[in-house]
Structure 1
């Protein structure tokens, strides 16, 4: 039974407008359906978010961002977005429907492509990305699954759901590792940075895969693939394809360079380089057949991955970013005719015409029989076994007459023992006696938290990331034994088994606890020795200040005496210039208020002593004209 018929959305009308007719594909975030826009009477693709994610505002925001970003790219190599909305618990995007297949389908069926076909796919990919880059956007998830090839040969880039601003940054921890592992650039893995050049790295990997039929890095786990990505360059594809032009090796090496500075600036620049390389290749170099290429010559509905288009009339001379690449069939040049050949052909055409009519009828019958054979039950849709236990998945596939192959991998989201993906995907066509590969979850990958005691903080962070763990919150405290800046302990503790991607809290030493001694009034040499003996570093401030302390001694220290600091921390000392001496004004014979105002204006404190009830100053101490420290007290006698 076709499992798509069990989907409750089939036959449902979303938002009173979109009639859901068939399921096309299922992804980790959404399901894509073929639908009819009943208002405009056109077929479209409807991308409906999984119900479990519809309540998550982060995922809903990502959906809306995809709609807005793709809508900005009015380019014929980008899958257009028509509409976005919600209907009850369903959040959806209405998109352009591309009747054809994905580049992943092509690679799965054909293994590897000849250079001519690989470049025919790469050029429109770069044209689409070039339009995005010039609009200030980065795709961040380029992979064969997101490259659609229509029945007319037109190539379109889909799924701008991860799109971000140029020079944007995204963390690569478990909550936001969004790109597919095999196509992530080293800087995305190591620093979480994405810009136009990260898209070019993915395109370089895709080009390598098209030319060779396999990915440049492999491993039993995603962590192993990521490690290889950081440590090894993408190998030259000619190592797997003898006779491949050196210029194609150089193109892959430039696009997929580990150092982003060695890549072109954006997709428009890389597209220009691709065209230059192509112009310099001979037909023999463009038509090299890779060893992994599988010949697909059969015609009919089962040849799902054909990329040979019908000719499209287009007399325009498109710009580098707007050009649409196709897979052209080679033109057939008719043989040169002579008078004799035309005469003989004219004599042959008459008596053989009935024979040609009979042959045409026979061919039509054979073709009809072939189509009937193909559509008479030789193919079925792959049943959905996602989230089923391994045993239930085996039983369901075998009941459908299919062979089962099992692979296993770790997953943070799918429970151990349950199916996380299948190849072919649910709903794809497969022969009745074909084989389906299911990937069964081993649950989250588990690693032991390392013993980081005494390890400097930066080294500890690198070690955790190398194991697939995330450095978490840093707490600092005094420790008598561990050097300042080194790890004291972790949470979870060393030796604890923890899932990859989980955070590890680090407690870091502030050094030995020290009470800062008071060095005020000491000369610089004595103060420096006192503090260093206590385990503190010393810094002398370049500026000096007036103070009550003797000139050349310590006037101010920071932190203040008695503060608690860790060993190796710095105390800043400010040296005294001595008291700030000022000449005392003569205020004798002034009224008390006038004298107070004059002295305070000169920077002194004032103390008044009265004799009887008078108000005139008759004596002051210090005497007028003497030098006294600014801020010191002047005594006045009034009568």
Structure 2
């Protein structure tokens, strides 16, 4: 990638990567501001489906204007690779927030949810279903403002489904049951995902966990939703009810619109709702089976006697006809059983999350094969050797003897941990298997932390998912011994000077100057309780080492000598007498 794109966007650093695109922090040379530039990965530039999805994201996000949706500024092309220029949000994801702090306080969780639901409501009213709502796509600024991002798999109501698998795209931990079944995503699928996000914010945990994505998806489909009150009985009942209603398995019992959920959130901390009755859906039973009573109104006398007295010859004819029909039926049945059947059509099963070896065995049973030219990529969810995509997609009818192409996981994307409190040596050990991460250090003065301990990190933020095959720079902020440029304390009160230095972590020694041998006139001219001299002197560079200190010298009024004034008075009287 060129350092300056289209003579406008100066690339500063890589700040993220995903399955389809890389994201860079850039500086807009025209409008003089930082922006985020999202560029389609080079290996997908010739993929028409990826191009269309990328274009769809640009169209979806650029058409939405809401204070809680990341704003799109520009779209363009860099050496054949399309890009989107977006608002750069300084903050962390909601996922990182929960990772650092665990369950959020109820007012903070509610604030995030109201902003999120408001943004999603705006998208729904514009006819757009997000389809990938998760804490990783929710950015939280330092002032608490929420921004929802990544409309990469969003779908407009009138948009063409790119592939059948689109209906089950999205992160499995937030996937609605109907999407697990392969039904199309709807407004209520987004509502389900927001319910799961609310669950995670106020409990610090996910409702369903499993060894594989398939296991998690099946729990969304079949397992009852755990109550947040089991995690913390102090959670308001209104919160529990909102999550229960948003996360119903059957979407007919969920909120119909995001507006309904927003209104419920807006009153959730009203005093009368804190301990409200727990909500349960009013299940609609199927129509019960009805017995059909015997037909009334037909009397035996209404039957024609001629029918009863029907001649034998007519009965015989009926019997012969019945026999003929039975024989014909038997012949047809035998023909159906023994006539060679055409092979049943085969529809490609969902192989995402299946190991490549198992997939080959499954397909071989249907005379279908995997092309030897495999594609590889890193995955957020699947370990090395597991399929993360197929072409064609699942549900496509395939002729026997055909081949399909698959993309196989090279391994999981690496989630950057929080290195605060560790040493550089410990970080090097953690990152030993990630040679593409270059570690740099910068010392910062912090008197509250032991020297050599990491107090922060730059370049790679906590919780960021990175591709281990790409190069990154991680800067560790390491606590050092306190260091200052010595200011001039002379003339300042000794207590004030001492406190200023000690607050900076500097060791201070006080030196009480002697007044022995001074005349009364000299003593009376002294300043008491202020700094007279200091070592080191003002302007010098000082580092607080184990055995070093700053010396402040002063005259203490308690040491002031007394002078005999009576002898002086007597001598004056003598002189006057003479």
Q: With the length of structure 1 as denominator, give the TM-score of the two structures.
A: 0.45
